[in-house]
Structure 1
Amino acid sequence: MSKYIINGCNKIEGTLRIRGAKNAILPIMAATILNESISIIHNVPCISDVFVMIRILESIGCKVSYSEDTLIIDSSNVNFNKIDEEYVRKMRSSIIIMGAMIGRLECIEISHPGGCAIGARPIDLHLKALECLNVKIEEHDGVISCCRQYLEGNEIRFERTSVGATENAMLAAVKARGITKIYNAAKEPEIEDLQNFLNAMGAKIKGAGTDYIEIEGVDKLDKVEYSVIPDRIAIGTYMVASAMTGGRLEVEKAIRAHMEPISNVLTNAGCNINYTESGLTLIPPKKIKTIDFLKTSPHPGFPTDMQSQLMSLMTLSDGITIFFETIFENRFMHCKELIKMGADIKLLTDKICMVTGVESLCGGKVKSTDLRGGASLVLAALAAEGETEISDIYHIERGYENLEEVLRSLGADIRRI
């Protein structure tokens, strides 16, 4: 297993250019199944999740090539209707392939994400949405079977907001007969990017970015060329790195509307953030100010995918911060690792924790627990005194392209072994 070795206390500063968003490229890759033709996608990040999705597409008959930052996917000969359990276990978000596959094929089979049962965190919304579109669903031996004669447009009312379920509903409804109306849809920028990609293929979708999406089904989709939006979570992570280490950061091609939920919180923490025509600049605070209370919530609220990174920032603040995680369970697994580095963190419940700022962090041996939790450890290590060894970095590589090279270009003392 690879590790990061980081010697802290170097300023993270310079110019940053981030490629496409992990949370946008994966549903867009799934959507390529629907056009039965060629899809050319630019600004694609070189991350492990992209390669898992490539293998999924190849396993059902797609031809895929990936060079530089461009994917070319030919879905004209999709000839297999099952997704191997191996892929679903590696990447839970591979469940978004389901909507596109049932839009293309009459019957499909896919394992439960992570091996969990129906009703557990939460694919029930995905399945209910497909049932609304005239899909019959059965569960047997850990496998979900979906079958339909044809897809029928309908009203889909989500009882709670879900990015993945919204994406699956959109993908399945694109070729359904008639009109599909999605209520309480997720509003994340990646949903809007999926809409724009599908519309570029000839779909008729409007409303993405709001809580109501309307889709008029079409018979055929066409060849497409498209560029993915920048990764707001990766940008936010590097912004925190600069804030924690006292560096000035310039970010190219950041989209203001996407970044504001993150940058507004960083401004409250003392950062000076200015938007330019091409991106943004961050000037770090002399002393990190406390954010008294931080609650994650769906867009345009503060994203759950930035919660652990902001927690690292608050470990060096001048007071106490209460974190309230509302989106996912098990989002505080990184806390015990941060504590090893000198952080003062107390878990109050499984969804609430209290962080009291300390003067400094210290290096040590820690383990990445998940993608964003692992990123929080990298941030802590960059600001810590001494050397930090971070193991299980395969979690981090799922979502950050060449993290050690990017950080090294910005002044970090980091190596991968």
Structure 2
Amino acid sequence: MAKFEIIGPTKLSGSIKIAGNKNSVLPIMAASLLTDQICTLENVPDISDVGVMTELLEIAGAKIQKNGSNIKINAKNIKFSSFPTSLTSKLRASILLLAPVLARLGKIEMGFPGGDIIGRRPLDSHIQVLTSMGAKIKEENDLIHATADGFQGVEIFLQEASVTATENALIAASVAKGLTTIKRAAQEPHVIDLCHFLQKMGAQIEGVGTSILRVNGVNNLSGANHRVRPDHVEVGTFAILAALTHGKIEIYPIITQDLDMILLILKKFGAKFKISDDKLTIEDSKLNAVEKVVTDIWPGFPTDLMAPMIVLATQAKGMTILHDWMYESRMFFVDKLLSMGAKVEIADPHRVFVYGATKLRGQVLDTPDIRAGIALVIAALIAKGKSTIERAELIERGYENIVERLSALGAKIKRIQ
């Protein structure tokens, strides 16, 4: 297992380039199985989750070539439809194999998807989508077994605005017979990115970026070239880091409309920033508490930024309530902030009260998941003394070359295997 050693506090400054969106590239990679032609993806983040998805596609029979941040996927000769739990348990996004493998091979057997431990993420919405389109799915001996003789277009009202269920529905609907209408669809930037990729393949999708998607299925999809959009969660993460480290950091490239709620919350806290073209610059800021920060479905405040935002609240004068109603274990990492000297009360599994500003001290910390892990990195960078962050490989699932990128800003951080 890897660990990070960090010495703080350090004033950070400079420029940091944003990687491709992790939550975009994984469904796009899965969707590339829909065609027997080559798909080329650019701006692919160098993270372990992409490596796991690559292994899963190769098990199916796809050939994948990597060249820097570009990959080519050739799924012409896929023929294997069984995916081991040893891999699927490492990746929540492995559930996105259901629709494309059923579309191409008519059957799939896979272990349950894994990933983070922030709370229950049931498969009900995926089962709802695919069974309504004609698939037969059963769960047996900790495996998912599914068959389908093609997909049939239907009208679906999602029981929850699930991102990955929306993505499975889009993938299936692209090659289904007839019209599929997806109501209560997720609207996140990564769902939009998947829509754009599918459209380049020849999918007929209307309503992109809205909660109602209409997809006219086609018989065949072609290969496509696609550049993965920058990760708005990374932008938000580094913006929070910049606001806390009293320097001046330029963050690029950005898509401004992906940041509306994130920047609104930062502005309420007192963060100073400016936007020029595709760059966001954060300057030294005096932070004050806000009444409440609540996660919501898009375009609300993203749950993936709640953990870093809690760290920011520890340095804002006053009391802030932070509420994540989506996942019942998102807040449990705050015990690690308490050990660093933060003043935080856990009201219930979904809410914390943070009292700032407090001085943090270095500590030995264990990483529970990707987002809490990066929050602990931020906390360590503003804490006095040495911090050691265990299980750093979890952080590397979502943030590419994080040690090198932070070091370039002046951080005192090193990775130890």
| Paired position in structure 2 for 1:38 | 38
Q: 1:223 to 1:193 in 2, by over 3 A?
A: same
Taking the aligned partners of 1:81 and 1:147, their CA distance within structure 2 comes to 10
AA of the residue aligned to 2:75 = S
CA contact (8 A) 1:270 1:284 kept: no
> What does 1:116-131 align with in structure 2 at a 5 Å threshold?
121-131=121-131
- The number of residues matched between the two structures is 413
| Paired position in structure 1 for 2:328 | 329
Taking the aligned partners of 1:46 and 1:206, their CA distance within structure 2 comes to 32
CA contact (8 A) 2:155 2:182 kept: yes
> What does 1:9-408 align with in structure 2 at a 5 Å threshold?
9-114=9-114, 121-285=121-285, 287-408=286-407
The TM-score normalised by the length of structure 1 is 0.97
Taking the aligned partners of 2:45 and 2:113, their CA distance within structure 1 comes to 23
Taking the aligned partners of 2:214 and 2:177, their CA distance within structure 1 comes to 13
**Structure 1: 5+ residue stretches without partners:** none
Show CA shifts across 1:326-360 (max 9, x none). 22221112111111111111111111111111331
CA contact (8 A) 2:332 2:349 kept: no
CA contact (8 A) 1:333 1:373 kept: no
Taking the aligned partners of 1:188 and 1:379, their CA distance within structure 2 comes to 25
The TM-score normalised by the length of structure 2 is 0.97
Worse overlay, 128-137 or 7-16: 7-16
Show CA shifts across 1:53-103 (max 9, x none). 000000110001112100111000101011111111111221111111112
CA-CA distance at 1:115 after TM superposition: 10
CA-CA distance at 1:263 after TM superposition: 1.4
Taking the aligned partners of 2:367 and 2:113, their CA distance within structure 1 comes to 21
Taking the aligned partners of 2:163 and 2:340, their CA distance within structure 1 comes to 34
Taking the aligned partners of 2:155 and 2:364, their CA distance within structure 1 comes to 51
CA-CA distance at 1:247 after TM superposition: 1.4
**Structure 2: 5+ residue stretches without partners:** none
| Paired position in structure 1 for 2:409 | 410
| Partner secondary structure for residue 333 of structure 1 | helix
| Partner secondary structure for residue 7 of structure 1 | strand
Worse overlay, 188-197 or 319-328: 319-328
| Partner secondary structure for residue 377 of structure 1 | helix
CA-CA distance at 1:273 after TM superposition: 2.0
Please list every run of at least 4 consecutive aligned residues from structure 1 whose deviation after the TM superposition is greater than 4 angstroms.
Answer: none
AA of the residue aligned to 2:127 = L
CA contact (8 A) 2:11 2:410 kept: yes
Taking the aligned partners of 1:83 and 1:37, their CA distance within structure 2 comes to 22
Taking the aligned partners of 1:304 and 1:284, their CA distance within structure 2 comes to 25
| Partner secondary structure for residue 11 of structure 2 | coil
Taking the aligned partners of 1:139 and 1:373, their CA distance within structure 2 comes to 31
| Partner secondary structure for residue 114 of structure 2 | helix
CA contact (8 A) 1:195 1:206 kept: no
CA contact (8 A) 1:7 1:385 kept: yes
CA RMSD between the two structures? 1.3
CA-CA distance at 1:268 after TM superposition: 1.0
Show CA shifts across 1:122-173 (max 9, x none). 2100011001111111221111111122210001111221001000111111
CA contact (8 A) 2:22 2:231 kept: yes
Q: Percent identity?
A: 37
CA-CA distance at 1:121 after TM superposition: 2.6
